[in-house]
Amino acid sequence: MQYRALGRSGLRVSALCLGTMTWGEQNSEAEGHAQMDFAFERGVTFWDTAEMYPIAPRQETYGRTEEIIGSWFASRKRRDKVILATKPVGPGGRFPYVRDGKPRFNRRHLVEAVDSSLRRLRTDYIDLYQLHWPDRSVNSFGTLGFSPDPKEEITPPEETLAVLAELVASGKLRQVGVSNETAWGVMRFLAASDRGEGPRLVSIQNAYSLLNRSFEHNLAEVALREEVGLLAYAPAAAGALSGKYLNGARPPGARITLFPQNTRYFTPAGQEATAAYVALAQQHGLDPVRMATAFVLSRPFVTAAIVGATSLAQLENQFAALETTLSPELLAGIEGFHARHTYPCP
């Protein structure tokens, strides 16, 4: 296992981060425990979760993934061996069952969110607390164009950072980060922390894969120069880069079969690019998921790739990316396809 610096925190995290969002929906508690055991035995000591998990989110399962992690901590007694990251729900109308249906990143809501996560996780501290998405309109989740609502009310980043500072001082949080954020948002938070107004961001968790390299446009420079490394989620594009969904295939029990509303990686351009990358991997004798994950891990601005699966076999295949070397010829092929399929699935 490789270990990398988590920003300027002094912490080191495994280059593979264990994704957890299927536990409590597609995976049982026992299966979640088995995945944590499997990962821990292979040197993966970095878990990522969120209060809204599992996915697809619904009121009946809200918080269940954190509870499964908490029961693993209680039974295995390994809390001090794991770097644990979680995230609070951000604003929006999709969660009427979370904080009166009006979650925001202000003091009242963040304190409640942290305390609730601590109870479910059966711990008294969270190593990395990440704002799940911004408290304002941004061009993310499949959107490149920027069309904000001029009348929207936002919680200023400085106000949010001040609350996070209180929670760090209390010992409930160790480090803070952001997710699905923009270059403007990251720099605004960093400017405030540079003025002494709160803790410095150590990471940004955004989507990054062969089908979505939009992070490279502005955020990669921020991540490198400011040492706010990327925690890349969906490095295999929700399984699309395995090729199993090509030509309209929907394998029984697969994520997109169960949750067809997730269309981010299934645009016509995305399917065309997927077919090209799968064929390229096969030409070089590689499993396409290993190739996709190895590419993400090879980028200098990436701290960790978040990998998740519903079976141990799938997880083991993704873990093998650490031992996968991409040849100059293969990398040239990837760049050639990227020139033609630049952001098929932003």
Q: What is the mean pLDDT of residues 70-85?
A: 98
Residues 21, 26, 28, 34: what is their CA dihedral angle, to the nearest 10 degrees?
Answer: -70
Domain presence at residue 331: no
- ω into residue 54 within 30 of 0, thus cis? yes
Tell me what the pLDDT averaged over the chain comes to.
Answer: 96
> What CATH number is given to the structural domain containing 202?
3.20.20.100
**pLDDT for the residue 176:** 98
Band of residue 282 on the pLDDT scale cut at 50, 70, 90: very high
| The overall pTM is greater than 0.85 | yes
* pLDDT over 80 (residue 281): yes
3-state SS, residue 230:
strand
Residue 30: its pLDDT value, please? Answer: 98
Average pLDDT (82-105) is 95
For residue 336, being part of any structural domain is answered with no
The two three-digit tokens of residue 142, written as one number: 């499949």
The answer on pLDDT for 45 being more than 90 is yes
Structural domain of residue 164, as residue ranges? 3-239+291-323
- Tell me whether residue 66 is in a domain: yes
pLDDT (tens digit per residue) in 112-142? 999 999 999 999 999 999 999 999 989 878 7
Classify residue 276: in a domain, yes or no: no
Please tell me the distance from the alpha carbon of residue 6 to that of residue 229, in angstroms, as a whole number: 7
- Reported as a pLDDT band with limits 50, 70 and 90, residue 306 is very high
Per the structure, how many domains does the chain have?
A: 1
How far apart, in whole angstroms, are the C-alpha atoms of residue 112 and residue 133?
A: 17
| Gap between the Cα atoms of 42 and 17, Å rounded | 12
Task: Tell me the pLDDT band of 215, cut-offs 50, 70 and 90.
Answer: very high
Instruction: For the chain, give the percent of residues with pLDDT over 70.
Output: 100
Q: How far apart are CA 186 and CA 231, in angstroms?
A: 14
Catalytic residue numbers?
A: 53
What's the confidence (pLDDT) of residue 4?
98
- In sequence order, the β-bridge partners of residue 206 are 232
Contacts 24+ apart (CB under 8 A), 268-271: 269/341, 269/344, 269/345, 270/211, 270/237, 270/240, 270/344, 270/345, 271/246
> At which residue do the structure tokens 């922390």 appear?
193
Phi, psi of 25 (to 5 degrees): -130, -75
